[in-house]
């Protein structure tokens, strides 16, 4: 069987998988209600669409978008992903049959357990079904897309083994050691060993030399990608905006006075804009600026899917609601609060200093010195970046590490070196390594018209 035939077969099986998820609850419910007609129950006229729709369907679009963005890393796990999806589908079929068809009278506790289990398995099945689309069904199409390797044309690239080349390409294009280790099923130390071998064969001291890196307040911030620091906050914001738009539609479309609808139409957008206004005021007071950041096409697809998920599954009929004393609470009512929290979490990756105290250090010698003092390679780079006066988001961007990693390495490095602040760290490196100080002068951002004498 050729690759084209296998792709068609996988697509047909994937479509049958989704059809089974769609029809199972409808078939169970229709059978159950038809059996109960003799008891005089008045639910015969309930529309079939009530059983076909589920708020987990938009979730499958989110997982499909995420899997498409991370398809290179999920490629090696496609069989495990497909097997897990089919296993969850079978479990869902059995639990749904017990929940919809075998519903004993008086067994309230057991019914609630079956109900929650059925919901969890249904959501899990739809999520895995969506993720299987780019990874399993469209595998040939996604794997055929080629990109220019940063190693092309370099002396020594042909001497790299397959594993060394894969790790070098991943690290040179922005992935961290932890991400590569997780994707390939290796330990971090093994990845660093392969990285050292690749650098030796390529004749470079670091893979950072293979891509242009611009640092500092005057640098143009890199675009957000799916794995970039700050991307989770951006994803949460997209979801909360979708929830808020659903709330806006419910306010304007529900019955009520024209004044109430007009008030809701103005209030929801205003509440969404308030966190951004606070961020601008905060930046002004702290002498910083809010710099716009673009999102890559992969992340843009994920953000669009999350916004649609919040819009379609945010509450109301067929939506997500939580039972509270005295009624139910629609989750789209939490979108306004969640948006404010997401803006606060995203703020460190948008705020950049207008000007900074410049310090010239020999970065390579600083790293070697810190390694000699017992710091790890990545920790030495983090401490050097701190000594150069760069902010935590800038360090996250340039070294492709998480914010928590920077904070942990800072605390461990200060304890290791016996210093308590970045000022003491700069003095230590200036004394033991040497630097050319700027005598306290400040340098404005490249795109800032303000100058400092």
Domain pair 157-210 / 355-444, same fold:
yes
Q: Is 108 a residue whose pLDDT tops 70?
A: no
243 in helix, strand or coil?
Answer: helix
Give the model's confidence band at 22: pLDDT under 50 very low, under 70 low, under 90 confident, else very high.
confident
What integer pLDDT is reported at residue 39 of this predicted model? 43
pLDDT of 100 reads: 76
Q: Look at residue 243 and tell me whether its pLDDT is greater than 80.
A: yes
pLDDT value at residue 237 = 94
pLDDT score recorded for residue 157: 74
Report the DSSP beta bridge partners of residue 290: 351
Name the more confident of 304 and 49. Answer: 304
Is a pLDDT exceeding 70 seen at residue 307?
Answer: yes
Res 78: pLDDT: 78
Q: What integer pLDDT is reported at residue 249 of this predicted model?
A: 76
**Per-residue pLDDT at 339:** 92
Q: Which of 125, 342, 341 is nearest to 233 (CA)?
A: 342
Q: Rounded mean pLDDT of 100-115?
A: 69
**Residue 137: pLDDT over 80:** no
| DSSP annotation string for 304-360 | HHHHHHHHHSSSSTTS-EEEETTEEEEGGGGHHHHHHHHHHHHGGGTEEESEEEEEE
| 155 has a pLDDT exceeding 50 | yes
Q: Residue 403 — pLDDT band, cuts 50, 70, 90?
A: confident
- Decide: 242 and 335 in contact? Cβ < 8 Å: yes
Q: What local confidence, expressed as pLDDT, does residue 91 receive?
A: 92
Q: Kindly tell me if the per-residue pLDDT of 37 is higher than 50.
A: no
Give the integer Cα–Cα distance in Å for 342 and 241.
10
Neighbours of 372 (CB within 10 A): 10
H or E stretch at 9: helix 3-35
pLDDT at 40 (0 to 100): 43
CA atoms within 13 A on the CB side of 87: 6
Q: How confident is the model at residue 145 (pLDDT cuts 50, 70, 90)?
A: very low
CA–CA gap between residue 102 and residue 38 (Å, rounded): 17
- pTM of the predicted protein model: 0.66
Q: Is 219's pLDDT higher than 60?
A: no
Rounded CA-CA distance 207/427 in Å is: 29
Quick one: angle between helices 258-285 and 335-346, nearest 10? 20
* Nearest in space to 225 (alpha carbons), one of 169, 173, 151: 173
**Cβ count near 134 (within 10 Å):** 23
Q: What is the average per-residue pLDDT within 254-268? A: 67
**Highest mean pLDDT of the ranges 101-105, 117-121, 448-452:** 117-121
The answer, yes or no, to whether residue 150 has pLDDT greater than 90, is: no
CB neighbourhood size of 126 (10 A): 27
pLDDT of 280: 92
According to the model, what pLDDT value does residue 453 have?
33
The answer to whether residues 299 and 226 touch, using CB atoms and an 8 Å cutoff, is yes
Q: What percent of the chain has pLDDT over 70?
A: 71
Residue 245 in contact with residue 306, Cβ under 8 Å? no
Is 278 a residue whose pLDDT tops 90?
A: yes
Q: Label residues 290-300 b or e (16+ Cβ within 10 Å = b).
A: ebebebbebbb
DSSP code of residue 309: H
pLDDT at residue 2 is higher than 70:
no
More confident residue, 35 or 61: 61
Render pLDDT for 308-325 as a digit per residue (tens, 0 to 9).
988 887 554 444 555 556
Confidence category of residue 438, pLDDT binned at 50, 70, 90: very low
* CATH number for region 355-444: 1.10.10.10
| CATH class of the domain at 157-210 | mainly alpha
CB 209 within 8 A of CB 434: no
Long-range Cβ contacts of 7-16 (<8 Å, 24+ apart):
7/137, 7/138, 7/139, 7/140, 7/141, 10/136, 10/137, 10/139, 11/137, 11/138, 13/137, 14/129, 14/132, 14/133, 14/136, 14/137
SS3 at position 359: strand
More confident residue, 453 or 282: 282
Q: Is the predicted pLDDT of residue 441 greater than 70, yes or no?
A: no
Average pLDDT score over the chain: 75
Highest mean pLDDT among 133-142, 196-205, 371-380: 371-380
What is the pLDDT at residue 32? 67
What pLDDT was estimated at residue 344? 93
Predicted local confidence at residue 390, as pLDDT: 80
Domain ranges of the chain: 3-143, 157-210, 231-349, 355-444
């Amino acid at each position: 069987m050729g690759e084209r035939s296998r792709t068609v077969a996988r697509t047909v099986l994937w479509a049958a998988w989704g059809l089974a998820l769609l029809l199972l609850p409808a078939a169970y419910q229709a059978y159950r209600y038809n059996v109960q007609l003799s008891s005089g129950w008045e639910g015969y006229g309930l529309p079939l669409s009530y059983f076909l729709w589920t708020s987990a369907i938009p979730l499958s679009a989110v997982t499909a978008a995420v899997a498409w963005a991370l398809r290179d890393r999920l490629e090696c796990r496609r069989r495990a992903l497909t097997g897990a999806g089919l296993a969850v589908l079978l479990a869902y079929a059995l639990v749904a049959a017990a929940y919809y068809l075998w519903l004993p009278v008086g067994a309230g506790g057991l019914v609630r357990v079956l109900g929650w289990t059925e919901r969890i398995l249904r959501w899990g099945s739809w999520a895995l079904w969506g993720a299987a689309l780019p990874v399993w069904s469209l595998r040939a199409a996604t794997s055929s897309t080629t990109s220019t390797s940063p190693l092309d044309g370099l002396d020594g690239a042909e001497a790299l083994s397959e594993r060394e080349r894969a790790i070098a390409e991943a690290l040179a294009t922005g992935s961290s050691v932890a991400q590569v280790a997780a994707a390939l099923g290796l330990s971090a130390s093994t990845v660093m060993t392969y990285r050292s071998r690749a650098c030796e064969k390529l004749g470079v001291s670091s893979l950072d030399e293979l891509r242009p890196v611009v640092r500092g307040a005057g640098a143009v911030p890199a675009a957000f990608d799916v794995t970039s620091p700050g991307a989770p906050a951006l994803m949460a914001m997209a979801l909360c905006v979708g929830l808020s738009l659903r709330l806006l539609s419910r306010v304007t479309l529900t019955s009520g006075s024209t004044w109430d609808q007009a008030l809701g139409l103005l209030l929801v957008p205003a509440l969404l804009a308030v966190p951004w206004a606070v961020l601008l005021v905060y930046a002004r007071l702290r002498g910083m600026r809010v710099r716009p950041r673009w999102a890559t096409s992969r992340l843009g697809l994920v953000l669009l899917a999350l916004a649609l998920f919040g819009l379609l599954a945010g509450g109301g009929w067929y939506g997500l609601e939580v039972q509270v004393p005295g009624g139910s609470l629609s989750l789209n009512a939490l979108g306004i609060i969640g948006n404010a929290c997401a803006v606060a979490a995203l703020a460190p990756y948008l705020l950049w200093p207008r000007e900074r105290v410049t310090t010239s250090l020999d970065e390579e010698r600083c790293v070697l010195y810190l390694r000699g003092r017992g710091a790890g390679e990545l920790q030495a780079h983090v401490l050097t970046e701190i000594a150069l006066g760069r902010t935590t988001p800038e360090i996250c961007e340039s070294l492709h590490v998480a914010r928590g990693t920077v904070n942990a390495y800072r605390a461990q490095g200060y304890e290791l070196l016996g210093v308590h602040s970045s000022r003491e760290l700069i003095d230590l490196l200036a004394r033991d390594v040497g630097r050319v100080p700027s005598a306290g002068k400040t340098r404005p951002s490249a795109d800032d018209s303000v100058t400092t004498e």
